A and B are shown apart, each in its own frame.
Chain A
Amino acid sequence: MHLTLEFGGGLELLLEKSTKVHKVDVPPMDGEVKATMKGLLSWVKSNLIKERPEMFIKGDSVRPGVLVLINDCDWELCGGLDAELEDKDVVVFISTLHGG
Chain B
Amino acid sequence: MTKSDKNCNNSDFIEKLHNPATQSAAFSTIVREYSERLYWHIRRLALTHDDTNDILQNTFIKAWNNIDKFRGDSQLLTWLYRIATNETLTYIGHKQIETVSLDSDEGSVANELESDPLFSGTHADALFHEAINRLPEKQRLVFNMRYFEDMKYEEISEILDTTTGALKASYHIAVKKIEEYVSSKD
Q: Real complex partners, A and B?
A: no
